[in-house]
Amino acid sequence: MLSMLTLVACKENEIETFEDESSLFFFRSIYSTNSKDAPQLDSTSYSFFLGGAIQVDTVWLDVLLTGMPSGEARSLLIVQSNAGEPDAAIAGVHYVAFDNSYVASRMVMPANEVVATIPIIMTRTSEMDTKEFRLDLEIMPNEYFVQGIKDRTKYTVKITAKATKPVKWDAPNSYKATFGEWGQEKMRFIIEYVGYNTFDEDLITDYRYYLQLKAREKLAEFEALNGPIYEADGTRVEFPEAN
């Protein structure tokens, strides 16, 4: 009996390898960013307002592989699933279509890789000053891949040029404490004249003081030449003089 046990104990373990079909899903994490250092959950909201005068910009999304990497590049099939619906983004108008040669060349799982980083190239239109357009993406099966993790095969990109109140504006000791009540013209002034456009930071005290002092000085300079600035509702743009 003992020798039998010994013989069994010496038998080499066989490790099971992955044998299912390769599948794809969108990266999602609340703890880390994607390969382009951008947050990626289940949607992205983008506004051209923060970018100043730029007309074209790109949102990069990571698509992950479940399965074995291949020695050859394999194309992905990602489509717009809300085409034709109200306020849906239109390919070739609001974003560069996926059959564009450059975009198509990036819709690929590279050889020997398990992550594909795909570009959603957005183009600004005048309509975006007052409207938001929605691009619903879905991973579809093709000759190489099937759909992966069930609730991660879809992703939404919202595109606009409206000034939207940043999520962190009213947070304690944040943008409201620095700049006062939010307004579209105020936000435009901050971006163009104060030179600040990253409204998702946690502001330390030093930096809040710096932004507030600079905003007040720049506004005083502007008003000396051009007079006061007003929001659409008639509210004058002002910055607080103290925390």
Partner 1 sequence: MKQIIIYLYAILLGVSFVGCVEDTGNYDYEDPAVVAPTIKSGIEENYSVLVLEDLVIDPAIEGDESLYDYVWYAYPGTITSSTPSDTLSVTKKLDYTVSLEPGTYQLVFKVTDKTNGTSAFYKSKLVVASFFSEGYYVLKYENGYTDVDFVDRNGLVNANVLKAINGESLPGKPIRATYEYNQYSYYVYDAEGNRTRKNLQPAYMVCTDDDLGIYEGTSMKQLKRWNDAFLEVPAIKKPQGVWANTSGFMLMNNNAVHFEYIGGGGGGEFGYAYPNEGIKLNSIVAVGSSSCLCYDDNAGEFVGYYVQKHFAIKNAIESASPLTLKPVGEVYFTNCDLIYMGVQPYSSTSNGGTYAIVKDRATGVASLWIINVSIMQNYYAMYDNGYRGRTIPESFDVVNGKVFAIQGYGVLSTPPAYSGVIYYSKGDNVVHYYNPSNQTEKKNVVTIPADEEIVHLAHSSDPSTVTPVDEFSILSNKGGNWVLRVYHREGSTPDINPTVVKSYTGTGLAKNFIYRNSGTRITY
Complex with partner 1: residue 111 or 220, whichever CB lies closer: 220
Q: For Cα atoms 182, 224, 237, give the angle at the middle one, nearest 5 degrees.
A: 10
Complex with partner 1: residue 8 or 232, whichever CB lies closer: 8
**Identity (one letter) of the amino acid at 20?**
D
Complex with partner 1: residue 30 or 242, whichever CB lies closer: 242
Helix (H) or strand (E) holding 92: none
Residue 6 interacts with partner 1 (CB under 8 A)?
Answer: yes
Q: How many residues does the chain have?
A: 243
Residues 185-204 within binding reach of partner 1 (CB under 8 A): 204
Q: Please pick, from the candidates 19, 143, 151, 241, the single residue that binds partner 1 as defined by CB under 8 A.
A: 241
Start-to-end CA distance of the chain, whole Å, equals: 82
Residue 2 interacts with partner 1 (CB under 8 A)?
Answer: yes
77-80 sheet: strands from edge to edge = 43-47, 154-160, 132-140, 77-80
Q: Please pick, from the candidates 206, 225, 227, 232, the single residue that binds partner 1 as defined by CB under 8 A.
A: 206
Residue 41 interacts with partner 1 (CB under 8 A)?
Answer: no
What sign for the dihedral angle of Cα 194, 195, 200, 202? negative
Complex with partner 1: residue 69 or 180, whichever CB lies closer: 180
Q: Please pick, from the candidates 205, 228, 230, 236, the single residue that binds partner 1 as defined by CB under 8 A.
A: 205
Residues 151-180 within binding reach of partner 1 (CB under 8 A): none
Q: Please pick, from the candidates 212, 219, 229, 237, the single residue that binds partner 1 as defined by CB under 8 A.
A: 212
What sign for the dihedral angle of Cα 205, 211, 214, 216? negative
Q: For 77, how many CA atoms within 13 A lie in the half-sphere containing its CB?
A: 10
Stretch of 12-20, 22-30, 139-147, 216-224 contacting partner 1, by CB under 8 A: 216-224
Cβ 106 vs Cβ 60: under 8 Å: no
Q: Please pick, from the candidates 200, 201, 217, 221, the single residue that binds partner 1 as defined by CB under 8 A.
A: 217
Q: Please pick, from the candidates 210, 223, 231, 238, the single residue that binds partner 1 as defined by CB under 8 A.
A: 210
Q: Which two tokens stand for residue 195?
A: 């030179």
From the CA atom positions of the chain, what is the Rg in Å? 25
Q: For 40, which DSSP code?
A: B
Complex with partner 1: residue 112 or 197, whichever CB lies closer: 197
By the criterion CB under 8 A, which residues form the site for partner 1?
Answer: 2-3, 6, 10, 204-207, 209-210, 212-214, 216-217, 220, 241-243
